Structure 1
């Protein structure tokens, strides 16, 4: 990846999908911590989705909520990311989803990239459709 400095604040890169603007100020682009949290949350979500499909579970939707805990005394360092999945579907097995969550954490490259430096906590809830 290559990044170019913007005239006012921040940097940008052009990717196959489009332009990505990154800056410490949200008025000029995505903040770096937002991209890090998003990468972990969406990587986990994608892995979870694939695993649930392989388990042949009838999943209709996965909603992800991610929050970061930061240490203001250490340059606003991200210390913990909490990722909560709301999984909607039919006849969902709590036991199978727990197993899928374990596999997700082991197989998400973004989570594995921060092991030992950022605590990642993943939780879930099930919404049963009739």
Structure 2
């Protein structure tokens, strides 16, 4: 990876292409957005793989994230909650959803990299295919 900093933004030349990073969301992705996106990218892909291995077909996974930041300590992220909504014909039993969520947390490299400094909760919920709970 290679990065160049100029005019208030950082340009990264990555494998997929170029990415613009800036604290100003009008000229690039904010570092916070990229950080959360890396957690979602890793855990979401892993969740999809786990569901396939467990022979639990799904049509779509939607993920919501909320966080708590501490303005007194460099606006550091102290807590992140991730809810994964799995759209599927058959629902996951509560205990099965919890086991899958625990597998995701245990095996996601991005989550494991920060879990000792950020309180992370990961929840899996099933939605019927029409999207109504």
Counterpart for residue 53 of structure 1: 52
Q: Structure 1: where are the runs of 5+ without partners?
A: none
SS of residue paired to 1:59: coil
SS of residue paired to 1:101: helix
Counterpart for residue 9 of structure 1: 8
Counterpart for residue 22 of structure 1: 21
Aligned length: 129
Relative to the length of structure 2, the TM-score reads: 0.90
Runs of 4+ residues over 3 Å off in structure 1: none
Q: Structure 2: where are the runs of 5+ without partners?
A: none
Give CA deviations for 1:9-37 in whole Å, capped at 9, x if unaligned: 12111122111111111111111111111
Alignment of 1:70-81 (within 5 A): 70-81=69-80
> For the aligned residues, what is the CA RMSD?
1.4
SS of residue paired to 1:49: helix
CA distance in 1, matches of 2:51, 2:30: 31
